[in-house]
Amino acid sequence: MEKRVALLTQTGDYVGPDLARRLAGRHRLVLHAPDASLVDELRAGGAEVEVVPGGEVDLRTAEGNTSLVERTLDRFGRIDAACLVTGIGIITGRFVDITPDQWERTKAENLDMAFYGLQALVPAMVTQGSGDVVLFTSATGARPEPRVSTYSATRAGANALVRAVGQEYARDGLCINAIGTNFMDFPGFLKASGADIDPERRAKIESQTPARRLGTMAELAEFTAVLLEGTTRFQTGQFFSYSGGWTG
């Protein structure tokens, strides 16, 4: 039986490496911006991997996302699953101090990536009559906090977009969901929160979640894979907060 095809973006860090390893057994992979060592590891294990270097496509644009989808279709003829990791960095600070440039960057990375990614994927999946999509946002979109106002607002917009698009295309066989994370044991979060250099700061941050710890990338990859493997397809248009119970 021919393996499914999975397209994963921004696989150089975050959940990308763990998710690629998790899906490799049942999927042929198209990896955007992976580390060479990950590609070598997957191929050595027998996985079929197509690589799209990060510098070749701009995921903040319609053209970049369309190119990525077309390259996947040219190589494998279909896309059964796609994981779109949106956003690049967290901009924090008092609302009145956010600059126009910061606002434009936040919108481009948190909203445009989501909009253009889904617009590129949906037609191809509708044509084939099925498809599983997970779009990564942030749990802050469900629980806004001071000093992350613009970040939270754009993440909330992306969550709403996914929920609406998921409902719209459910009858076409598509399952489109969002996962929003927070409190993850990941260099980006640790640096942004100051937990990377101060053990006491890390302990304080961990105490803010009901789970009293940070989540791991391996755990997140397992959770995400359930939504991508095509084995359970009665959930779409949903936002899942993966934050140790922080959003309640």
Task: Give alpha helix (H) positions in the chain.
Answer: 16-23, 36-44, 62-76, 100-107, 113-128, 149-168, 187-193, 199-206, 217-228
Q: Count the domains in the chain.
A: 1
**Strand (E) or helix (H) holding 30:** strand 27-32
Q: Is residue 247 part of a domain?
A: no
- Condensed to tens digits (0 to 9), the pLDDT of residues 5-56 reads 999 999 999 999 999 999 999 999 999 999 999 999 999 999 999 999 999 9
List the CATH number of the domain containing 141. Answer: 3.40.50.720
Angle at 226 between CA 221 and CA 231, to 5 degrees: 150
The amino acid occupying position 182 is N
Read off the pTM. 0.95
Short-list 156, 148, 157, CA closest to 97: 148
Quote the domain boundaries for residue 178: 4-242
Q: Which of 86, 81, 173 is nearest to 133 (CA)?
A: 81
Q: Is residue 248 part of a domain?
A: no
The pLDDT of 125-136, averaged and rounded, is 98
How many Å from the N-terminal Cα to the C-terminal Cα in the chain? 42
* Mean pLDDT in residue range 224-241: 97
